[in-house]
Structure 1
Amino acid sequence: MTNDPINPKHYAKIQGLTLEPLIMEAPYFLGAAIKYIWRCKKKGGAEDIRKARRCLELHIEGNPAPPYGAVKAANAFLDKARRAPRTLQITVIMRLLVFGYQLDGTHRLPALLESLDTLEKALKRGAY
C-alpha cells in the first residue's frame, strides 16, 4: 500500500532507528517535538521545525517529570545513535532527548536551539 494512514512513510526508520519507543511514554509536548523533527525531511520541512520549537517551549513551561520508561527508551536510542553514522536530524533528536530529560545534568538549551536553527535553514534552502 502506497498511502498507509497507520504507518506513514514520514515516520519510517531513520538509519535503522525507530520512533515509537521514544514517544510511547514521553511527556506529551516532548514527544510531539520529537515527532515533528523526525518527519521534517519527508513531510513538513521547516514548518515542522517551527512546530517542534513551539512544543519544546510548552514542554519547558510544563516541566513534567519524565516517566522511567521514557528515560530508559531515550537512553537506549542514544546508545544506538551514538554507534551509527548520524544525520543532522538524528543529532537534533539526540540533543532534544538529552535536554528534555536532563540526562547529563547540564543546561543544553542553547546547543539544542542552534541545532534546530541549522536544521530549519538546511530544509529551507533544500540542502537537507
Structure 2
Amino acid sequence: MRNDKVNPSYYVKNGMSCLDAIKAITQGLDGFEGFCIGNVTKYTWRWKEKNGVEDLRKAREYLDFLILEQEEEHGIKTDRTTSD
C-alpha cells in the first residue's frame, strides 16, 4: 500500500476510485441523502484496509440516519432498535 495521505490506495479498487463511485451512486439524490449514501459508501469501501468493524459501524450509523429521515418523511412508524 502506498503511503499517500491525500489519496491512499485503499480508496481505489479494480481501477475505480471511491470518489467516482460516490459521484455515480449519489447522482440525483438530495443533499442529505447524498451525504448519507456517500458516507456509507466511503466506510464500506475502505473498512478492510483502514478501521475494520469501526468503519462498518460508521456506515451503519449513516444508513440509520437516512432510514430515520425517510421514515419521518413518509410517515412510517417502526419500533426499531439497533445494537453495537
Match of 1:35 among 36, 42, 56: 42
| Ranges in structure 2 where 5+ consecutive residues have no aligned partner | 27-33, 71-84
Specify the alignment match of 2:9 in structure 1: 9
Q: Structure 1 stretches (4+) deviating beyond 4 angstroms? A: none
Specify the alignment match of 1:113 in structure 2: none
Specify the alignment match of 1:45 in structure 2: 52
Specify the alignment match of 2:17 in structure 1: 18
Classify the secondary structure of the residue corresponding to 1:59.
helix
Output the CA distance in 1 between the equivalents of 2:60 and 2:17: 21
* TM-score computed with the length of structure 1 as normaliser: 0.42
| Ranges in structure 1 where 5+ consecutive residues have no aligned partner | 64-128
Specify the alignment match of 1:57 in structure 2: 64
Aligned residues: CA RMSD: 1.8
Output the CA distance in 2 between the equivalents of 1:59 and 1:17: 25
Q: Counterpart amino acid of 2:14?
A: Q
Classify the secondary structure of the residue corresponding to 2:36.
helix
Give 1:16 deviation, angstroms: 3.6
Higher relative contact order structure (alpha carbons within 8 Å, sequence separation ≥ 6):
1
Output the CA distance in 2 between the equivalents of 1:59 and 1:20: 20
Q: Counterpart amino acid of 1:28?
A: F
Give 1:61 deviation, angstroms: 2.0
Output the CA distance in 2 between the equivalents of 1:3 and 1:23: 23
* TM-score computed with the length of structure 2 as normaliser: 0.61
More helix, by proportion = 1
Output the CA distance in 2 between the equivalents of 1:21 and 1:15: 12
